Structure 1
Amino acid sequence: MLLPIYAYGHPVLRKKAEDITPDYEDLSKLIADMWETMYHAEGVGLAAPQIGRPIRLFIIDSIQLEEKGKDVIGLKTVFINAEKVEEKGKIWAYEEGCLSIPDIRGDVDRLDTLTLRYLDENFVEHITTFDGINARVIQHEYDHIEGILFLEYLKPVKKAMIRGRLENIRKGKVKVDYKMKFA
């Protein structure tokens, strides 16, 4: 089932999300709905707060980037109750966007290597190190479960330039090809 994506300005996007347990109601269906919603919106990641659930759950599929000819070894994974273990490496800028903030993109500086402790959809624990674009997509989605939006990393000049467009998103004055929910 396609779920509405919560737009910039909705309070759930600024909340630190809560851990879940294996008995979380209809978790398998929720994850399946998140995959369907993400693909429909042409995203590479989606966090539960973006669909109105303040829980520590996100999904990514960077395999799509492989298919678009990028130099990437893709990854398709469910992350539950993720916690950063370590970020290291070189800082690199890359233009990011977000399904909750449509039509706005900007360069974000991030470290290129991330080690994460998380549970998969079967609640099996993993401690894995990711790098490159996989690390970046995971960092972006991880920020969502911490209540952080990529906008916070933008340079002040860029933030000033997009202020009016952000206000339009907050008011629901944006056109997208997927369902959105506004504050």
Structure 2
Amino acid sequence: MAIRPLVILPDSMLRKVSAPIDDITPEIRKLADDMLETMYDAPGIGLAAIQIGEPVRLVTIDVSKKAEEGEEQKREPLVFINPEVTWRSEELSSYEEGCLSIPEYYEEVERPARVKVSYRDLDGKAQEIEADGLLATCLQHEIDHLNGVLFIDYLSRLKRDRVNKRFAKAAKRESAA
């Protein structure tokens, strides 16, 4: 397992649509392991492969509760291959979202409160999960990444433009250094 560098806004890689995974190879399993290690190190609760420069339809998530002081963290990693939202509730919920590819920026985003997602697991078995709360939000956020959509796309044009400008300036400063 290895911690991989994150792709950060304004990198155009984040706008690519990721390709489906046909076979679950040892390379795909290693990618999932690397993604989990990278996600935990960041720290984050979700990561799409495109966020580490791999344009394939693979997502890792862990929304388990944070350990209390003195307790050991109990991890509940989830891996989704070719995830697809098959149903969305009409009821909406709002969460403050952030993104490892847009560091230290958070904003309220409204999404369907519940979703059903079909996917394949690391054994290649077809699975379906019905999710609500934070898991539903995280699944939608990460699946959006696979389609080149970022959570800032749900914000007003003014807020989105501000974020894009801020990260473009930061990238320019970094490349000049």
The TM-score, its normalising length taken from structure 1, stands at 0.83
What is the rounded CA distance, in whole Å, between the counterparts of 1:123 and 1:165 in structure 2?
41
**Separation in 2 of the partners of 1:52 and 1:163?**
19
Segments of 5+ residues of structure 2 without an aligned counterpart are: 69-74
Per-residue CA deviations over 1:30-83 (Å, capped at 9, x if unaligned) read 1111111111100000000001011000100001xx2268xxxx9531000111
The alignment status of 1:22 with 2:23, answered yes or no, reads yes
For residues 164 and 105 of structure 2, the distance between their equivalents in structure 1, rounded to whole angstroms, comes to 11
Output the TM-score relative to the length of structure 2: 0.86
Q: What 5-or-longer segments of structure 1 have no aligned partner?
A: 174-183
Query: Over the residues paired in the alignment, what is the CA RMSD in angstroms?
Result: 2.1
The verdict on how the C-alpha distance between 1:163 and 1:29 changes in structure 2, with shifts beyond 3 A counting, is closer
SS at match of 1:158: helix
Assess, with a 3 A threshold, how the Cα gap between structure 1 residues 160 and 56 changes in structure 2: closer, same or farther.
closer
- What residue is the counterpart of 1:67 in the other structure? 66
Q: Distance in 2 between matches of 1:172 and 1:37?
A: 25
* Cα shift at 1:121: 1.2
* Partner residue in 2 for 1:11: 12
Aligned residues: 168
Q: Could you tell me how far apart the structure 1 residues matched to 2:45 and 2:104 are?
A: 15
Amino acid at match of 2:44: G
What is residue 147 of structure 1 aligned with on the other side? 148
Q: Which one has more relative contact order, counting CA pairs under 8 Å at least 6 apart?
A: 1
Q: Give, as a single letter, the amino acid of the residue that structure 2 aligns with 1:78.
A: V
172 and 124 in structure 1: CA distance in 2 versus 1, 3 angstrom threshold: farther
The structure with the largest strand share of the pair is 1
State the identity as a percent.
Answer: 37
Query: 1:164 and 2:165 equivalent?
Result: yes
**Deviation readout 1:125-179 (Å, 9 max, x if unpaired):** 1122111111001111010001100010012342344343222344364xxxxxx
**What secondary structure is seen at the aligned counterpart in 1 of 2:113?**
strand
